[in-house]
Amino acid sequence: MTQRISKSKRFFMMNPIIQFFKFIWLSIKIMLVVAGGHGGTRKANS
């Protein structure tokens, strides 16, 4: 095992309070990707 994630980073990743805000941020960011919609690729305006 090679430690590739520093202690402070791991604390950030696993701290429930920080991660609660991350959860909200992530949910919004993902919703924006989803809400960004979808379309074709073959017509310039599609």
Partner 1 sequence: MSKIVILGAGISGHVAAAHLRRKLSKEHEVLVVSPNSNYQWIPSNIWVGIGRMKSDQILFPLPPLYKKKNINFKQALVTTFHPEGDAETESAFVKIKYVNGQQKGNTENVTYDYLINATGPKLAFDMTEGLNPGTNKAYSVCTYSHAEHAWHALDDLIQQMKQGKKAKILIGTGHAKSTCQGAAFEYILNVEQELRRHNVRDQAEVIWIANEYQLGDFGMDGVLLSYGDNIMKSSEMVEMIFEDRGIKWILGAGVNKIEDGIAHYETLDGEYKSETYDFAMLIPAFSGHGFKAFDKNNEDITEKLFKGFMLVDADYTPKPYEEWSVQDWPETYQNPSYNNIFAPGIAFAPPHAISKPRVSKNGTSISPAPPRTGMPSGITAKLVADNIIDIINGKKDLHHKGSLGNMGAACIASAGYGMTKGSGVSITTYPIVPDYNKYPNTQGRKLGKTFGEIGLAGHWLKFALHYAFIYKAKMKPFWWLIPE
Asked if residues 18 and 12 have their Cβ atoms less than 8 Å apart, the reply is yes
What single DSSP character describes residue 36? Answer: T
Distance, in Å, from the CA atom of 43 to the CA atom of 28, rounded to the nearest integer, reads: 30
Contact map string, positions 1 to 40, toward partner 1, x by CB under 8 A: xxxxx------xxxxx--xx-xx--xx-xxxxxxxx-xxx
Quick check: 44 binds partner 1 (CB under 8 A)?
A: no
- Minimum CB separation of residue 7 from partner 1 in Å reads 12
CA nearest to 22, candidates 32, 11, 12:
12
Summarize as ranges the residues that interact with partner 1 (CB under 8 A). 1-5, 12-16, 19-20, 22-23, 26-27, 29-36, 38-42, 46
